[in-house]
Copies of this chain bind each other. A is one copy, B any other.
Amino acid sequence: MSSKRSSQYHQVEIPPPQPFLKSLKNTLNDILFADDPFRRIRNESKTSKKIELGLRHVFPILEWARGYNLEYLKSDVISGITIASLAIPQGISYAQLANLPPILGLYSSLVPPLVYAVMGSSRDLAVGTVAVASLLTAAMLGKEVNAVKNPKLYLHLAFTATFFAGLMQTCLGLLRLGFVVEILSHAAIVGFMGGAATVVCLQQLKGLLGLHHFTHSTDIVSVLRSIFSQSHMWRWESGVLGCCFLVFLLTTKYISKKRPKLFWISAMSPLVSVILGTLFLYFLHAHFHDIQIIGELKKGINPPSITHLVFTSPYVMLALKIGMITGVIALAEGIAVGRSFAMYKNYNIDGNKEMIAFGMMNILGSFSSCYLTTGPFSRSAVNYNAGCKTALSNVVMAVAVAVTLLFLTPLFFYTPLVVLSSIIITAMLSLVDYEAAIHLWRLDKFDFFVCLSAYLGVVFGTIEIGLILSVGVSVMRLVLFVGRPKIYVMGNIQNTEIFRNIEHYPQAITLSSLLILHIDGPIYFANSSYLRDRIGRWIDEEEDKLRTRGEINLQYIVLDMSAVGNIDTSGISMLEELNKFMGRRELKLVIANPGAEVMKKLSKSNFIESIGKERIYLTVAEAVAACDFMLHTAKPDSPVPESNNV
CB atoms of B504 and A186 under 8 A apart = no
A445 to chain B, nearest CB (A): 6
CB atoms of B185 and A565 under 8 A apart = no
Q: How far is the CA of A444 from the CA of B605 in the complex (A)?
A: 10
Q: How far is the CA of A184 from the CA of B529 in the complex (A)?
A: 12
Chain B residues positioned under 8 Å from A568 (CB to CB): 185, 187, 444, 446-447, 477
**Which residue in chain B gives the minimum CB-CB distance to A335?**
B529
CB atoms of B537 and A36 under 8 A apart = yes
CB atoms of B186 and A522 under 8 A apart = no
Chain B residues positioned under 8 Å from A182 (CB to CB): 483, 525-530
CB atoms of B540 and A39 under 8 A apart = yes
**How many copies of this protein are present in the complex?**
2
Interface size on A, residues (CB 8 A): 90
Chain B residues positioned under 8 Å from A501 (CB to CB): 595-596
Quick one: given A15-B504, A186-B569, A524-B478, are A35 and B533 in contact (CB under 8 Å)? yes
**Which residue in chain B gives the minimum CB-CB distance to A18?**
B503
Interface string of A75-118 (1 = CB under 8 A from B): 00000000000000000000000000000000000000000000
Chain B residues positioned under 8 Å from A541 (CB to CB): 36
Q: How far is the CA of A563 from the CA of B593 in the complex (A)?
A: 12
CB atoms of A477 and B524 under 8 A apart = yes
Q: A545-582: which have CB < 8 Å to B?
A: 562-563, 565-566, 568-570, 572-573, 577, 580
Chain B residues positioned under 8 Å from A604 (CB to CB): 442-443
A434 on the B face (CB < 8 A): no
CB atoms of A526 and B563 under 8 A apart = no
Q: How far is the CA of A540 from the CA of B565 in the complex (A)?
A: 25
Name A601's contact: one of B39, B443, B520 (CB within 8 Å): B443
A44 on the B face (CB < 8 A): no
A534 on the B face (CB < 8 A): yes
A609 on the B face (CB < 8 A): no
A283 on the B face (CB < 8 A): no
Chain B residues positioned under 8 Å from A497 (CB to CB): 497
A618 on the B face (CB < 8 A): yes
Q: A479-515: which have CB < 8 Å to B?
A: 479, 481-486, 493, 496-498, 500-501, 503-505
Chain B residues positioned under 8 Å from A195 (CB to CB): none
Quick one: given A443-B604, A563-B562, A595-B520, are A15 and B503 in contact (CB under 8 Å)? yes
Q: How far is the CA of A64 from the CA of B304 in the complex (A)?
A: 83
Name A20's contact: one of B185, B346, B445, B481 (CB within 8 Å): B445
Chain B residues positioned under 8 Å from A496 (CB to CB): 10
CB atoms of A187 and B479 under 8 A apart = no
Quick one: given A483-B179, A601-B443, are A563 and B563 in contact (CB under 8 Å)? yes
Q: How far is the CA of A563 from the CA of B445 in the complex (A)?
A: 22
Q: How far is the CA of A187 from the CA of B528 in the complex (A)?
A: 13
A175 on the B face (CB < 8 A): no
Q: How far is the CA of A618 from the CA of B493 in the complex (A)?
A: 11
A31 on the B face (CB < 8 A): yes
Q: How far is the CA of A481 from the CA of B566 in the complex (A)?
A: 8
Of the candidates A15, A483, A496, A526, the one having the most CB atoms from chain B within 10 angstroms of its own CB is: A526
Quick one: given A504-B596, A572-B443, A595-B501, are A187 and B525 in contact (CB under 8 Å)? yes
Of the candidates A445, A478, A527, A618, the one having the most CB atoms from chain B within 10 angstroms of its own CB is: A478
A469 on the B face (CB < 8 A): no
**Which residue in chain B gives the minimum CB-CB distance to A599?**
B504
Q: How far is the CA of A233 from the CA of B161 in the complex (A)?
A: 54
A52 on the B face (CB < 8 A): no
A167 to chain B, nearest CB (A): 23
Quick one: given A478-B479, A526-B182, are A343 and B442 in contact (CB under 8 Å)? no
Q: A415-455: which have CB < 8 Å to B?
A: 439-440, 442-447
Quick one: given A185-B570, A503-B15, A595-B520, are A351 and B36 in contact (CB under 8 Å)? no
Quick one: given A481-B566, A568-B187, are A505 and B13 in contact (CB under 8 Å)? yes
A-B contact pairs, 7 of them (CB 8 A): A13-B504, A20-B445, A178-B529, A182-B530, A482-B482, A501-B595, A521-B565
9 residue pairs, one from A and one from B, having the closest CB atoms: A185-B525, A35-B533, A504-B596, A34-B533, A563-B563, A520-B565, A186-B570, A478-B482, A34-B534
Given A36-B541, A503-B596, 14 more contacts at CB 8 Å?
A: A13-B504, A34-B537, A35-B537, A36-B540, A39-B540, A43-B544, A178-B529, A184-B525, A186-B573, A346-B584, A478-B526, A479-B479, A486-B597, A562-B563
